[in-house]
Structures are given as structure tokens and as C-alpha cells.
Amino acid sequence: MSLQDTLTDQERLAELGLDELRRLVGLVDHDPATDPFPVTGWDAVVWAVGNATQAAHFYESAFGMRVVAYAGPETGRRDHKAYVLESGAVRFVLLGAVDPASRVADHHRRHGDGVVDIALEVPDVDRCVEHARREGATVLEEPHDVSDEHGTVRRAAIATYGETRHSLVDRSRYDGPYLPGFVARESTLVRPPGAPKRLFQALDHVVGNVELGRMDEWVGFYRRVMGFTNMAEFIGDDIATDYSALMSKVVASGNHRVKFPLNEPAVARRKSQIDEYLEFYGGPGAQHLALATNDIVGTVDAMAAAGIEFLPTPASYYEDPALRARIGEVRVPVEELQARGILVDRDEDGYLLQIFTRPTGDRPTVFFELIERHGSLGFGKGNFQALFEAIEREQARRGNF
């Protein structure tokens, strides 16, 4: 298999290399021939939002993404508008209802702004669906071709937690801007001179919040239906504040490009952050998306200047001698991390830098993480305690604690 074959189109277009992806998102070698449900990587994260026209502007101006494609009433899509944005290998699709009877409007009323589809690129849609069906998955869309003058995309969709789906997309015979029905569109946002080309390069992981007592069921779903494997890191009762807790396990695709931590609330004295999510989202859904950057300091500065709010980290976190001893030498001086509230975690493989935004919509549901990996393949387990305490202070501010 040539080096080119192992990059996705998006990664090639973003001029990302295999070595860079190993570092950015922990990509590992994997033989798809032995995989019952081979997954190449992420295809797109599709959102239903209250106002896609304005959300597109938000992701452009504050997240440094670029609009690349569009579908809507002007292109024959009467029901809703869809904006496609990219940053490196990350693709977001924002759906907003035009027709009040649109299913996008129903979804938004039930869930608020949220992820409807975590679409995955697969080399063989039919083989994946056949395997998924045999393992009991709900097939929402049978494999079918969609074509236009740019070629043909084969796609299908299976259901996952809540009202979330996984579209399975094979775009190897397609060279259009996104999917048939979309037209290329250029960003109209004028960036200041000297602005960075992009603020993040790749999607690292998408976390799902599921119902109390159902985490192992969903871990089993990903293992059985999609051939995913457990990653070592898991969070149990040992990681909890006095009041609220969660349990978490991580499953990953064979090449580790696609990683899904799954959280469930743990029984606690107070309402946990997962309970708050489940209440306000109206059930299970995607909790946070981790965006991989190779310059977290520059990214945080650019996003903060554009008005993005990050969870504050207490000074005590950085002054803790045990933490200083544990994290050792990192690329950025601790003072620089502290000035921005960036967290550090280290394990036997290396370290990572991470920071979390406040929820980016009206409801206390979905938010983002920025992550800069230096060898560590973890998810910041060492930071969970400090992080939970920060999240609980935020919950209390909202009156949900």
C-alpha cells in the first residue's frame, strides 16, 4: 500500500503527512483487509443548528474555518440550507431549516444545536452495512449511489446513540466540493493580514454521552457492529468529585483516526455534568469534539481574541508541586499555559496539552476541546479531577448543580 493510499482526500488536500498525523491524532498502522468494518477516517461532522447562516460565520470568524460548499433553496434544496466548512482535514456541515416543516427544525427544537451525524469515510459501504446488519445495527439508509457531474458517491447510514447517526461514505469515485447537490462556495470573510492559515488540522475524537447504565452496551455496539477496539484509558469511580461523577471508556477504529470516548453519568449526590447534558439535549448525543492543533497557544489566543470562552483553570492547578513533578518538561513554559488555562497530562508515552471551551450554543450541551499531542495517546485522565471541579463551578453558575 503506497503512502498516498493511507491518507484521506481531506488530509492530502490539507497537506498533512502520515508522520504529522501520528503525532497529531495518534494514527497507527492497520491492515483493513483483516477488519470486518474497515474505517478510513472521519468524513464530516453534520450539525443541526438554529441558524446555519450565522453559525457558518461563527465557525469562520472564531474557529478559522473556511466555507467551501453550500446547498439551499438557490440550488434546489427547498427544505434547509447546508454550509460545508473545512479546517485542515476537519469538515463540518451546518444544517439550518428554511421550511418550518423541515426535519432540521424538529431536531433543533428537541436538541438545540447539536451533532446529527458523525459521518465516516469507509472503503466499502456495502461490506460495512452487511456486517452491521448481521450484528444487529439499525440501518437507516441502505447503500445507494448519488451522482452528479463530479462523479458518484456511495453511501449508507446506521443509527448510533440517541438521534445520532453514522453515515458511511465512499467518495473514492467523486471529486466535487462535498456531495452531489452541493455547489462550491468561497468564503466572503476577509481575514486580517498575517492571520494564521488555520487554527486546527484534524479531528481527534468525538465524545458521546449515553444514558445511565448503558455505556458498556454502547462500547459493545462499537466493538461488535463496527469492529472498534477498546483503548487503554478508562475512567471509573476513582475519578469523581465529591458530588458528581462519570464513567468513561474509549473505543477506536483500527487505525485510531476515529476515537469515541463514551460517557455515562455515575450515581452521585448531585446532578452530574452528564445528567445536565442528557436533560438539556433531551437524551444521548455528542458531548464534545476534540480538535487537534500543533500550536495550542496560538490557537487559544486567536479563538479567545474572537470571543470564544474557555473553561478557567484555578491557579492552584499550576502551583501544585505534584502536578509540576508529574508533567515534567513540556514545550511551553508553565506560565504561558497558566495565562491561558491550558491543561497538561503525561503518561508513559509522552504528554498532551488540552483546553475546553464553554458550551458554544444556548444549551449547556456541546462544547469543544483543543488538543496538542506530544506522544501521549490518552485523553487527559490526569486532568479530570481539576476539570470536573471547573465544570461544576460552571453548572452552579447556571443553577443546575
Binding residues: 205, 288, 369
Is residue 290 close enough to count as binding Fe ion by CB under 5 A? yes
User: Measured from the CB atom, is 167 or 354 closer to Fe ion?
Assistant: 354
Is residue 246 close enough to count as binding Fe ion by CB under 5 A? no
Is residue 366 close enough to count as binding Fe ion by CB under 5 A? no
Q: How far is CA 339 from CA 41, 64, 220, 354, 387, in A?
A: 35, 22, 41, 14, 16
User: Measured from the CB atom, is 93 or 290 closer to Fe ion?
Assistant: 290
Phi/psi at 188 (5° precision):
-100, 0
User: Measured from the CB atom, is 178 or 317 closer to Fe ion?
Assistant: 317
The SS3 call for residue 251 is strand
From CA 15, how far away is CA 120, in angstroms rounded?
20
Is residue 345 close enough to count as binding Fe ion by CB under 5 A? no
Is residue 369 close enough to count as binding Fe ion by CB under 5 A? yes
List the beta bridge partners of residue 202.
292
Using the structure block, give the residue that is written with the C-alpha cell 490557537. Answer: 299
Site for Fe ion in 84-123 (CB under 5 A): none
The one-letter amino acid code at 218 reads W
Smallest gap from Cβ 352 to Fe ion, in A, equals: 10
Closest CA to 169 of 155, 186, 152: 155
Smallest gap from Cβ 370 to Fe ion, in A, equals: 10
> Could you tell me the three cell numbers for 236?
471509573
Contacting range for Fe ion; rule: CB under 5 A; set: 154-162, 215-223, 297-305, 362-370: 362-370
Contacting range for Fe ion; rule: CB under 5 A; set: 213-221, 287-295, 312-320, 323-331: 287-295
Is residue 372 close enough to count as binding Fe ion by CB under 5 A? no
Is residue 156 close enough to count as binding Fe ion by CB under 5 A? no
Where does residue 169 rank: exposed (0-12), middle (13-18), buried (19+ CB within 10 A)? Answer: buried
Smallest gap from Cβ 354 to Fe ion, in A, equals: 7
DSSP 333: -
Q: Which amino acids are annotated as binding site for Fe cation, given as ranges? A: 205, 288, 369
Q: Under the rule (CB under 5 A), what is the footprint of Fe ion?
A: 290, 369
